[in-house]
Structure 1
């Protein structure tokens, strides 16, 4: 009997991923804010020499309406090498799982045999998620060492209890269980990532469904009731080990980006805003002995602005908060990308010394006040700003989309957020950022939907964890 070949997009090490062929397609989830049309998965041509470069070449709609697609991910990735023998039984990076943040339904699409036209093959109902794991409002999805990890904001009833992680079967996509065996003080949920070789999972905090689904609630923000802590867990046991509070003034600890080096014990967490001065920040976690700590390593200040140019929610403050809503770390752990959705800026930092980031590049697109145009249409101001950011495996291309979350879009861009996707290029050794004028899907390309997260064919900087240093 022959042994099935290992999926070539499972990389044993970061270096192997960087050396792999570049992506030729990008998958983008889109949603209809009015829930009059089904949400959809768009396929964008990213091949360098393709005549269709930067165009939508595939489109598939959900069978339902009102899901609000948000974050999504692959069924399997390079973490397959952490499974004892599992990677030899035909497991492939083949299926994309698309959670509906409002519907709590997860749609599973098969990208084979035609990667430009994925097919719906399985639907995980809100009832199955609630009955088997006790959760709702699925948010972030990662392929993990013993299943697919799906972080959820709410309980089966929505509010009324802690959010957490549901585990799905790698092969059948059935909901298996809640991951937590002992959650300790953890209540709020958002992202979850890990250091596989350290048997450590890290989770972050946003809020319960009622705290986020209708927009930012000023009373909760000023009352410092959104999440402001990191949690460290025993990955194998699902047991809470330590809570690290970043300070109640640092509200909404969202994206987590652990080092790709499997032997390292540090990573970065983004904080949306500080209630004292509206700044945003990035924190570095690290381990000292058997304890974890977090230190602020980047502060992005708010930008003063004329109140007449601000949306109602910001008029009393006379400033635009950066609103760091996503961060991304290149596969070689060299550059950190920080998206400032409020000011319309993407920042690049050299983090060769992760304790002392050094800014090496910046581009602006959109922004609450700036409305900086894309070079492809220099006379057309953009709404929204760099929000979700995804980095190619080789570190040369950075893809951006401009929508945060329907109700938050409307709150901060009340005249309309539009829909667009951009590509920024960099030198992966020296840094520096330039907007690619020839890559700009927008408007009608997305058929009336807003664009949110991007996943790259063959994997990207935020979808894989590695088991081998070389």
Structure 2
């Protein structure tokens, strides 16, 4: 049995710390090959904070974005399946623009990922009826891959979830058997023990690939709902509208407690006041509901410091582009990509979050520098965030999506490509690690996006048991 499959969240927290991070990086100009990079996370290593592995994909213009493992702790819930030899060994890496999918083997040499399989856009379209693969989770029946677009002949949708085989990585089919009203797609995760999948909404390919479309945003045309599904049957149960002004409902982060029925979803922006928001979903009896529990206001700014899209508002919206929940369900991290702030909330009472920590890097208005390079103003801001299993380390990168980077930051790859680490006080509070700052030419002119940690992390695994000794 793979030792990185953990029965409980407590076992994951107590496990040995990760020593490597896998980070995808892409070339906005589509002149260089995108790559899966490897970063040294061992503070005792002479290469700490440096890129120690680099494997390119063969094509151009893939825009590698979100990715994940072939198998994780959720496998322990399915003893009826053949688990002989099943390992957290392969990283499945989609190209958001190309719809190609790449599979890397990191087992033999973790610092030298080996590209072992490619799945082209036509196969994804023919087998599942989808394109623009976005987010994946290893789970029951296979690997669940959310897709923003419909088939090649109708990319505007609806989007949905493609199911891939755990072992061969073949595209099996569309997961949904009764898709209900969901048209836009973005993320999906689950309450595994409750047989419930939760999905969210961004927009169709034409609404995102060239950047934000102001007319559509101001008309509240982007996604603003979450959906609840029968996980085993692929059947839509319920839609919860967050309010049409709450545009772009992105990451869903369910509790890691396998018996809980609550979680959080981040909303990028409100068209009423440019604020960002976090909603908590919860079950009341047999009904799923959602309530806003965090509002983050826009910050006033001089018009001259703003990109054209924001000049008329004379304010910087937080632009909540990622959230992550620590494995112990104590802290929620909120990436405010527009203002350059990473916020930490104590969510011990998930209905009443309390901010307990904050750091700033980059930001549209301030371009806040990293302590390691105090004279280097930074483009971008905290964007993709990943929390270590122990909860003591937070890692984040600065690029959102090529066209959006350009629209909000005009990102120069040399200044705008960076990754940071934050140390966490167990009682709340954040401090930037001054000795960890891969940036600029460390990424060879590419822009880094999502992070996966060796052995799993807070946004990769579903834990199936509360106790390591029983199924209770």
TM-score normalised by length of structure 2:
0.97
Structure 1 residues 88-167: aligned runs within 5 Å: 88-157=83-152, 158-167=154-163
Q: Give the secondary structure class of the aligned counterpart of 1:410.
A: helix
Q: Give the secondary structure class of the aligned counterpart of 1:381.
A: coil
Partner residue, 2:229: 233
Correspondence 1:184 to 2:180: yes
Q: Give the secondary structure class of the aligned counterpart of 2:371.
A: coil
Partner residue, 2:430: 433
Q: Give the secondary structure class of the aligned counterpart of 1:431.
A: coil
Partner residue, 1:453: 450
Tell me the distance in 2 between the aligned counterparts of 1:237 and 1:93: 26
Identify which of 404, 412, 415 aligns with 1:416: 412
Q: Conserved in 1, the CA contact under 8 Å of 2:102 and 2:119?
A: yes
Tell me the distance in 2 between the aligned counterparts of 1:102 and 1:295: 33
Tell me the distance in 1 between the aligned counterparts of 2:161 and 2:437: 35
Partner residue, 1:22: 17
Identify which of 289, 314, 317 aligns with 1:293: 289
Q: Conserved in 1, the CA contact under 8 Å of 2:396 and 2:419?
A: yes
Correspondence 1:244 to 2:240: yes
Tell me the distance in 1 between the aligned counterparts of 2:402 and 2:144: 24
Q: Conserved in 1, the CA contact under 8 Å of 2:144 and 2:164?
A: yes
Correspondence 1:33 to 2:31: no
**Deviation, structure 1 residue 132:** 0.4
413-422 vs 273-282, greater mean Cα deviation: 413-422
Tell me the distance in 2 between the aligned counterparts of 1:162 and 1:179: 13
Unaligned runs of at least 5 residues, structure 2: 468-472
**Deviation, structure 1 residue 355:** 0.2
Q: Give the secondary structure class of the aligned counterpart of 1:271.
A: strand
Q: Conserved in 2, the CA contact under 8 Å of 1:81 and 1:87?
A: no
Partner residue, 1:325: 321
Tell me the distance in 2 between the aligned counterparts of 1:86 and 1:376: 49
Tell me the distance in 2 between the aligned counterparts of 1:365 and 1:64: 32
Partner residue, 2:393: 397
Q: Give the secondary structure class of the aligned counterpart of 2:126.
A: helix
Tell me the distance in 2 between the aligned counterparts of 1:280 and 1:375: 27
**Deviation, structure 1 residue 85:** 3.2
Q: Deviations over 1:400-454 (max 9, x none)?
A: 10000000000000253610000000123x0100000000000000001000000
Identify which of 45, 51, 73 aligns with 2:40: 45
Unaligned runs of at least 5 residues, structure 1: 1-5
**Deviation, structure 1 residue 87:** 6.2
Structure 1 residues 253-272: aligned runs within 5 Å: 253-272=249-268
**Deviation, structure 1 residue 381:** 1.0
Aligned residues: 464
